[in-house]
Structure 1
Amino acid sequence: MATLQTEPGKQPAPAVARPGRSAIRPFRPHVIWAVFQRNFQSYFSNPAGYVFITLFVLISSTVAFWQDEFFTNNLANLDQLNKYMPYLLLFFVPAITMSLWADERRQGTDELLFTLPAHDLDVVLGKYFAALGIYTVALLFSTSHLLVLSYLGKPDLGVMFSTYLGYWLMGAMLIAVGMVASLLSSNVTVAFILGALFCAAPLFIGSLGSPTGGNLRRQLEGWSVPAQFRDFGAGVIPLSGLFYFVSLTAAMIYLNMLLLGRRHWAGGEASKGLGLHAAVRFLAVLVALFSGNILVDLLGYRADASTERLHTLSPESLELVSKIADDRPVLIQAFYSPDVPREYVETRTDLLGLLKEFQARSRGKIQLNLIPTEVYSTAARDAEKRFGIEPKRVFSADQAKQSSSEIFMGVAFTSGLEEVVIPFFDRGLPVEYELTRSIQVVSRSNRKKVGILSTDAKVMGGFDQRSFGQTPEWSIVTELKKQYEVSSVSPDAPIAADLGVLLVAQPSSLTQPQIDNLTAFVKGGGATLLLMDPFPVDNPQIAPEVPKAPPGGPFGGGAPPEPKGNLTPLLDLINLDWPTTEIVWNSYNPHPQLADMPPEVVFIGRGSGEADAFNPDQAATSGLQEIVALFPGLLRAKNGGAGPEFTPLLRSSAKGGVIAWSEAVQQGFMGASGINPRRRHLASGTAYTLAARIKGAAVVAAKPEAEKDAAKKAEEKPATINVIAIADLDMVSEQFFEIRRRKIENLDFDNVTFVLNCVDVLAGDESFVALRKKRPQHRTLTAVENQTSSFLDDLQKQTKVAEDAAKGKLDDAQKAFDKQVDQVRSRTDLDERTKEIMLANLQEVAQRRLDVEKQKIEDEKLNSIREGRAESERKTRAIENRVRYLAAGVPPLPPMILGLLVLLGRVRRENLGASPKRLA
């Protein structure tokens, strides 16, 4: 047999392992488990590990519950923690990862670890899972935040699940980044600093684009950790977010493998170019993952974890879409800006996601055209010319600076000759409702008619005598035009009976002939929505107690106006009692940020203590959460059980009362000039109806026997009444539409929803009612509200005592004055002329004294009320502080106690077998 001989010095060079390559098969579970167990147990056998966990829970609970915003928002959620959690992990994750590799190298145990028959990947995964297990335990300890929220209110458990999933995915990705930093140094402190710097890169990547412009910055910001976590915190689990965190985790683990594999090939002649080769391989992996993230993001798949299923098409939407006729397909053209400020990212994502879902569920009945639109582009010109969709300038706060930009976010719906356009989707618009309504309206050939009766409220717009200019139509009219055929109706002629609904704002401003025409329409069975207000805040001059303004404005000109008519016949017909001089007030206010609102701003909600705040049996109100009325009136059934049925829709709580219009209003030269700051609020302990449904047969007035004959008696039929009355015109004022559009102070009132529901109910089309109510449940801190409500009750009692005391003193002063007058009049030694002079002098002096006494008594009353309010505020702050201390102090106790037990056990083991003399 021939033998291969080699000359000395001519030995073949040993094979050099390629980066990351090993002769041992990877993914051996017992090796991964052994490495995991070693690192995991070493962390929890050391009391220092519990110190980090305790600090993590303490800081997170402080961030979540200590800030004033938590009590100001009055919501049982983790919004405050969501804003700061990525930056909290910036310091906590490096504390976990700093010793994974650096400590091994410092102690020299890395050589022993690498000589074991284990693949590099097994060692990396074992250490990664150990760090991830430590972080998971810390997160489990922090779930005590959910117990705190459950004590304070009723959090959405679905949103909490997605939130904690986002926390876990953020930590999982940053741990892989921190391991890279630990692998680069043998010093634990240096590893911690490098870990914080490396983890800061994906957190602050959005700031890298700021020197070059806003568009690049927004693109980079979409790749930042806070931006990717945002959907998880809102109750959505997006596929793109999952892929982002998992892919970056895999990339960082691969980088760990490359850096760890350097020991096989670093140094020597054969290692030339291998470092560059490894870097190119890692960059290729990043590019592949970047491309994968873009593709996954385009798919738009996401799971809705919220209890209300806010990010999923509701059954009502699917049913309405299924009814689209096959011969009337709907074309949807959405013009949107590819780059929008961060405040509008969620709205754009919801809009595009729901449009894609509509198209997928329509089975070809909906054709979708998504058009990315830049300002001044061809698409922008087409959007403006064809549909009137223009860019809207929006403002955003960024790094203490306010910037503005013009963006497109409009949608056009066409089907045959029908067309509906939504020029812009503001942040507060309910996206699914707007889309579903537009699709249904455009796919139908006939729309029902809604008439707006012309009154002094000028809902349809017109000339304003106060400003001597044209006023635009109210937003409620614009909203109704999206669904109905809306027209102005003159009250000077008989009202056409073909109207689906007649909306009447402030009927008390009509003249008598106009009221008669309205009464005839209601008597004929016409569906009518009455908005009646004793004190319209936006325009007090049209209050029932204020005379009709002259045509030429307050400074005259022209013939005197025809006086206001008598509304009593209409109210008698519909069995309604509406005191025009009584204004409802209430002390219930669930919004600490609105604490300065006067009690005449009445909040209606389930948390008020009134079980029937929203009538659950009526479609217009079932499912509503909160409504605000401004200086509203009250409604009552006039004839008891006789006449049409009176069904309350909205009711205030019993924590209030009524004040007279004359006491609430401050009169001036031009009439009602404002609100009287010295008005008195005396609690009545009665709940008041602010809106009611009135339906049924009207009471037929009895006629004299002489006027009756058999034929007419046989033809007489009672009128069928179909009316909804609301004792507040301001319920649909512009400020509520502005709050709805812009989400001001995160307020979410149902004013607009309620009025639109009333119109739909009267029109007999309730297909949008359920969909319109779909929004996040207002989950308040009920525990705090229940404790502070007793303080408000005490304040009302103290106010009543002060009012009664002031009234008693004034009565005593008046009696003393009357007594002096009687004494002068009873004197017989004076003639009548002398008595008149003495009485005049006495009255002048006594009146001055009485005025001084009244002012003194009024000041004492106001001081007493102020002291009561200050005491109530102090007690409320004490409750909030108690909640702060409990919420921030109790959650860290379990890991702290566990750490102390581990420390005591460790000391005990160290002292076992030691000499007692040595321990002494």
Structure 2
Amino acid sequence: MNATNLALLNLAFLDAIFICILLASFGAVASVKRAAYAVMKRNFVGYFSNPTGYVFLCIFVFLTSVAAFWPDEFFNQNLATLDQLNQWFPLIMLVFIPAITMSIWAEERRAGTDELLLTLPADDFDIVIGKYMSALLIFTASLLFSQISTFITLTILTEGGLDTGLLFATYLGYWFVGATMIAIGMVASFLTGNLTVGFVLGALFNAPLAFASLVGSLLPNEEVSLLGWDVNLAKLIQSSGIASPFDDFGRGVVSLSSIVYFTLVAALALYTCMVLIGRRHWTGGKDGNTMAYHYLLRIMALFAVAVSSIVLFRTKDLVRQDLTEQKVSSLSPATLDLIRNLDDRRTIKIDAFVGKDIPELYAKTRYELINLLKEFQAEAAANGRRIEVNLYEDIDLFSDDAALAETSFKITPVERSLRENGTTENRKILLGAAFRAGLQTVVVPIFEYGIPVEYELVRSISTVAQAKRKRIGIVKTDAQLMGGVTMMGPQPTRLPKDPIVTELEKQYEVEEVLLDAPVTPGIYDALIAVQPSTLAPEQFQRLIDAVEAGIPTAIFEDPLPYGRSYITPSAAPKVQRSMFGQGQPMPKGDIRNLWVALGMTSKGRAGQNYYENDIVWQDYNPYEDLKTNADAFWSFIDEAEPGAEPGKALSDQSMITSGMRQVLALYAGSVSADDESDLIHTPLLTTGQASGTVTFQKFVQAQSARNPQEALRSLMVESYDPEQTIAMTIEGDDSDANTEPSGEDAPSDPSNPIKAVYVADIDFMLPVFLQIRAGPEDAIRMQVQNVTFLLNSIDWLTGETDFIEVRKHVPTFASLKLIDEVKVEANKRSREGRDEFEKSKQEAIRDAEEARDVELTELRKRVDELEQKGREGVIDQQEYQAVVQEFSMKQSKLANDLKNKREALEQDAAKNIKDVEREAERKVKEIQTWVKVYATTLPCFPPILIGIAVFASRRLRERENISSSRLK
């Protein structure tokens, strides 16, 4: 069964359940109130037996389709949601609902059938509920038409990958909105006997609920004193409209508070209808005025009960069900546990600022951020936790809200270079948040597209909620993660603080550890040692003592640092560097002593006071566009590698790597557990079948060969050895294998179990991997999760395992795959065109240079001959000067011609590239235009055809008993 059929069955199943519940409810009423059933049937059949009903149905389907798919924001967002229709739906309902309700009672009065209807053996409730059920069924049928057309459009655009749960929940919300507005519209119809007045009054009565969400642009978003209470009037009015309770449905969440709101408002309006239809019993009597005040008091009391109930359920929303297939609108279990364990005495305030015109690349991030913030607030309220969310959406970059973000929290629009509409341009993005609790403040200036939003929110909330953070100690080695000075050339170079440290500081207190003295257990929750072999022997021994003392430690040791050439490889001696060059070898730690303490070994050969680790290679690269830059020593640890055993490349035996997809190691080493060790070793990262190791010396020799790639390739053939482990965890107590500590450097408690993560590569934490995770996607679209691996490792060591689970909860959103494929193909053609034009330009320039050299060769030859004669003493100076001048002028002219030709070629290439990019963008716009046209016109045909058939059938029945002579 393909994805489209499965989606259709899922939606049909959900619709069938809803329709069965609706019909069962109506059937229960009809079985008790037969008059109500008769009224319902009469009005429902009468509406759809008239072609006018199909005209309104056609208009409804057309308007919903236009609102959903015509705005450019739908394609810019690139998500298979109905966000655009959600914004316009209340306004569409202000037209469509009065068209249904205006004739409910006004038509009866106009036709004079109201008295006949009131003489039926039925009470007022039967008439009101019968007419309400008929209008609700008419609206339900209209929604089904709209839902089917929307489903077909989204199915085509997503190629069967749409979220049917989100679609159903959204239309369920539309149904509740319609059910409420129909009840209010009926009040208007009961007040007048004129259809036009009934239509206008129906729209006016529903307008306050429809436009309440827009009051924020009219009233200041601040608290004012009202009857002794501090009230945010803007938020109060906004929450009273239909947009606020519908918001849950629009995000795929069915909540009890929203259902209670719509149900109670509809019930209040229906009771008002019963009062209006029943006033004939007491109007004009001696107690008429008294009864009017009596019923008005009843309505006011019912209004107070409805308002109180709505407020109660909103603050204690006990039932919330996320119907989306990927659970994109719900929180992970780890996040829910964290919220429930928060200190309810501290109020956490979240101020989130979301700008207008968010680029497509950040659309999913924006969608997820808004979803999760609302879920945070709902869950906190349900569990009695104090989390206040102030969400500022669709902010102009120069608005008051943007100024508030800058002045109060230093959140400003962040500029990103993005490729959109066939061109690369700089865009300013406002998508940040500030978290406050007491004196603690955490500011996220921008939610980057590659960072899980839920993790960023949870980490920030947890950080401000905690009175004390856990402490991480970073051992000072030649890596100098905390910043420092190094000799990378003839002059000293200052190193800034490594970005990974900044990332850790968002969650932990981070300090530098010098290891000039023993590290006492309990001071640090974990240590991080990067290239510890560069430590002096005394410092290195103190690190071993700390590991044996049970201090959780993350160790990164690289046989050949690829991205940090100033760091001494573990496979080479440490040499003192200065501006005068390299000096004498310096003592360094023997990494083998640390391996003994950890009960592990590494492939390689022993050197003098150091160990030459072998370097791992893997003949697998999932990125075609990277193959010209990468080599086999870029090890992509990937579960998708052909022949890979599931759960082994990225071990599913450890929570650090379970659920991860891909990491990248650069010129890494290989590690394995010592067979005689009693410690527990769990491999984390393992290469696939097409892998092996090359000795350090052979690798260096191959790099110096005339053809390094060919030399390395031959070494790889000789050194085939699959499944090399690059990282592992070490746990347990292996006292027998540990070296005996002595003197003042002995750990205070050597009996504590060892807990460590060992990674045979330090290039894992290169800043580029943070850029890949956070920065805009390029043509390669790398999916490496090095940063996630590092953070998971540290959290595992410190016991902050909830964050590991939160990082794994990465929702998948349904996107417009059809448009994506057109864009990918267009971008591919654009890249190919750019490459072709660039190649043609270079070839033309090279041909021009060769032609220039040919023209100058003859003159150069004559100059050389005259210079030779001059050395022999036989030369005509006048001839020599003339030839030299001719050569100089010719050379200058050809150089100028070449310059002009190069500029002309570059301009021509730039023009051709622009034409290709413009053509690519035209292709994308063309398919978008066709989607708009088909999505808005085709849904109108079914109701039109049905209306024509009904009209024709009606006309034929009218002509059945008429003689042919009267038909002339």
Check conservation: 1:89, 1:171, Cα contact below 8 A.
Answer: yes
Check conservation: 2:68, 2:84, Cα contact below 8 A.
Answer: yes
How much has 1:277 moved relative to structure 2? 1.7
Question: What is residue 335 of structure 1 aligned with on the other side?
Answer: 347
Structure-2 change in CA distance of 1:474 and 1:761 (3 Å): closer
How much has 1:354 moved relative to structure 2? 3.2
Question: What is residue 695 of structure 1 aligned with on the other side?
Answer: 726
Check conservation: 2:657, 2:684, Cα contact below 8 A.
Answer: no
How much has 1:769 moved relative to structure 2? 2.6
For residues 488-531 of structure 1, what are the alpha-carbon distances to aligned partners after superposition, in whole Å with 9 as ceiling and x for unaligned?
Answer: 35799999999956487xx9xx99999xx99x999x9963399x
Q: Does 1:907 align with 2:955?
A: yes
Q: Does 1:192 align with 2:227?
A: no
Question: What is residue 325 of structure 2 aligned with on the other side?
Answer: 307
- The residue type equivalent to 2:162 in the other structure is P
Unpaired runs of at least 5, structure 2: 1-28, 223-231, 356-368, 410-432, 486-493, 548-552, 567-577, 586-606, 628-635, 674-682, 689-722, 729-756, 871-879
Q: Does 1:223 align with 2:237?
A: no
The 1-side partners of 2:190 and 2:264 are apart by 20
The 2-side partners of 1:409 and 1:792 are apart by 37
Indicate the SS of the match to 1:778: coil
The 2-side partners of 1:213 and 1:762 are apart by 42
Match of 1:350 among 372, 375, 384: 375
For residues 371-403 of structure 1, what are the alpha-carbon distances to aligned partners after superposition, in whole Å with 9 as ceiling and x for unaligned?
Answer: 88xxxxxxxxxxxxxxxxxx9997874999644
Structure-2 change in CA distance of 1:478 and 1:724 (3 Å): closer
Residue correspondence of structure 1 range 669-684 to structure 2 within 5 A? none
The 2-side partners of 1:121 and 1:155 are apart by 42
How much has 1:471 moved relative to structure 2? 13
Question: What is residue 17 of structure 2 aligned with on the other side?
Answer: none
The 1-side partners of 2:803 and 2:348 are apart by 26
Q: Does 1:760 align with 2:764?
A: no
Q: Does 1:166 align with 2:173?
A: yes
Check conservation: 1:179, 1:256, Cα contact below 8 A.
Answer: yes
Indicate the SS of the match to 1:527: strand
Question: What is residue 511 of structure 2 aligned with on the other side?
Answer: 487
Residue correspondence of structure 1 range 775-854 to structure 2 within 5 A? 775-827=810-862, 830-832=866-868, 834=880, 838-854=886-902
Question: What is residue 187 of structure 2 aligned with on the other side?
Answer: 180
The 1-side partners of 2:125 and 2:397 are apart by 42
For residues 454-508 of structure 1, what are the alpha-carbon distances to aligned partners after superposition, in whole Å with 9 as ceiling and x for unaligned?
Answer: 899986799xxxxxxx99978864652465452235799999999956487xx9x
Indicate the SS of the match to 2:326: coil
The 1-side partners of 2:66 and 2:118 are apart by 43
Check conservation: 1:409, 1:423, Cα contact below 8 A.
Answer: yes
CA RMSD after TM alignment: 5.7
Check conservation: 2:469, 2:508, Cα contact below 8 A.
Answer: no
How much has 1:445 moved relative to structure 2? 11
Deviates more, 1:196-205 or 1:255-264: 196-205
- The residue type equivalent to 1:575 in the other structure is I
How much has 1:897 moved relative to structure 2? 1.9
The 2-side partners of 1:345 and 1:850 are apart by 57
Q: Does 1:860 align with 2:896?
A: no
Check conservation: 2:107, 2:195, Cα contact below 8 A.
Answer: yes
Check conservation: 1:511, 1:562, Cα contact below 8 A.
Answer: no
The 2-side partners of 1:333 and 1:478 are apart by 30
Question: What is residue 595 of structure 1 aligned with on the other side?
Answer: none
For residues 874-918 of structure 1, what are the alpha-carbon distances to aligned partners after superposition, in whole Å with 9 as ceiling and x for unaligned?
Answer: 111111111111222222222222112112222222333444455
Match of 1:297 among 298, 305, 314: 314
Deviates more, 1:795-804 or 1:132-141: 795-804
The 2-side partners of 1:511 and 1:837 are apart by 65
Residue correspondence of structure 1 range 872-883 to structure 2 within 5 A? 872-883=920-931
Indicate the SS of the match to 1:333: coil
Question: What is residue 15 of structure 1 aligned with on the other side?
Answer: none
- The residue type equivalent to 1:451 in the other structure is I
Structure-2 change in CA distance of 1:571 and 1:42 (3 Å): farther
For residues 341-398 of structure 1, what are the alpha-carbon distances to aligned partners after superposition, in whole Å with 9 as ceiling and x for unaligned?
Answer: 99999666533443466x6xxxxxxxx66488xxxxxxxxxxxxxxxxxx99978749
The 1-side partners of 2:791 and 2:502 are apart by 14
For residues 290-310 of structure 1, what are the alpha-carbon distances to aligned partners after superposition, in whole Å with 9 as ceiling and x for unaligned?
Answer: 111122222222222233335
Match of 1:235 among 225, 231, 252: 252
For residues 597-656 of structure 1, what are the alpha-carbon distances to aligned partners after superposition, in whole Å with 9 as ceiling and x for unaligned?
Answer: xxxxxxx9x9x99999x99953778767999xxxxxx9765899999998689xxxxxxx
For residues 426-459 of structure 1, what are the alpha-carbon distances to aligned partners after superposition, in whole Å with 9 as ceiling and x for unaligned?
Answer: 9968567755897799999995735286899986
Q: Does 1:117 align with 2:121?
A: yes
Match of 2:615 among 552, 575, 579: 575
How much has 1:320 moved relative to structure 2? 8.5
How much has 1:561 moved relative to structure 2? 10
The 2-side partners of 1:339 and 1:858 are apart by 49
For residues 200-245 of structure 1, what are the alpha-carbon distances to aligned partners after superposition, in whole Å with 9 as ceiling and x for unaligned?
Answer: 1222345678558741111121111111111111122221111100
Match of 1:156 among 147, 160, 163: 163
Check conservation: 2:62, 2:939, Cα contact below 8 A.
Answer: yes
TM-score, normalization: structure 2?
0.62
Question: What is residue 208 of structure 2 aligned with on the other side?
Answer: 201
For residues 752-808 of structure 1, what are the alpha-carbon distances to aligned partners after superposition, in whole Å with 9 as ceiling and x for unaligned?
Answer: 986244232366556533321324323221111113322222223322321222122
The 2-side partners of 1:625 and 1:892 are apart by 45
Structure-2 change in CA distance of 1:56 and 1:310 (3 Å): same
How much has 1:179 moved relative to structure 2? 0.4
Question: What is residue 744 of structure 2 aligned with on the other side?
Answer: none
Structure-2 change in CA distance of 1:753 and 1:274 (3 Å): farther
Question: What is residue 16 of structure 1 aligned with on the other side?
Answer: none
The 1-side partners of 2:339 and 2:214 are apart by 43
The 1-side partners of 2:933 and 2:246 are apart by 28
Structure-2 change in CA distance of 1:84 and 1:447 (3 Å): same
Check conservation: 2:264, 2:306, Cα contact below 8 A.
Answer: yes
Question: What is residue 554 of structure 1 aligned with on the other side?
Answer: none
The 2-side partners of 1:875 and 1:862 are apart by 20
For residues 258-283 of structure 1, what are the alpha-carbon distances to aligned partners after superposition, in whole Å with 9 as ceiling and x for unaligned?
Answer: 00011111114332322122111111
For residues 808-847 of structure 1, what are the alpha-carbon distances to aligned partners after superposition, in whole Å with 9 as ceiling and x for unaligned?
Answer: 2112111112212332344497444636655444332221
Structure-2 change in CA distance of 1:66 and 1:287 (3 Å): same
The 2-side partners of 1:565 and 1:81 are apart by 73
Aligned length: 723
For residues 122-155 of structure 1, what are the alpha-carbon distances to aligned partners after superposition, in whole Å with 9 as ceiling and x for unaligned?
Answer: 0100000000000000111111212221221223
Structure-2 change in CA distance of 1:236 and 1:26 (3 Å): closer
Structure-2 change in CA distance of 1:345 and 1:723 (3 Å): closer
TM-score, normalization: structure 1?
0.65
Question: What is residue 57 of structure 1 aligned with on the other side?
Answer: 61
Indicate the SS of the match to 2:240: coil
Indicate the SS of the match to 2:167: helix
Residue correspondence of structure 1 range 402-421 to structure 2 within 5 A? 402-403=400-401
For residues 541-598 of structure 1, what are the alpha-carbon distances to aligned partners after superposition, in whole Å with 9 as ceiling and x for unaligned?
Answer: x999xxxxxxxxxxxxxx97989999xx9998573799xxxx99799xxxxxxxxxxx
- The residue type equivalent to 2:924 in the other structure is T
The 2-side partners of 1:610 and 1:49 are apart by 60
Residue correspondence of structure 1 range 278-297 to structure 2 within 5 A? 278-297=295-314
Residue correspondence of structure 1 range 13-24 to structure 2 within 5 A? none
Residue correspondence of structure 1 range 91-110 to structure 2 within 5 A? 91-110=95-114
The 1-side partners of 2:354 and 2:903 are apart by 55
Question: What is residue 265 of structure 1 aligned with on the other side?
Answer: 282
Indicate the SS of the match to 1:286: helix
Structure-2 change in CA distance of 1:128 and 1:872 (3 Å): same
Match of 2:270 among 233, 246, 253: 253
Structure-2 change in CA distance of 1:799 and 1:166 (3 Å): same
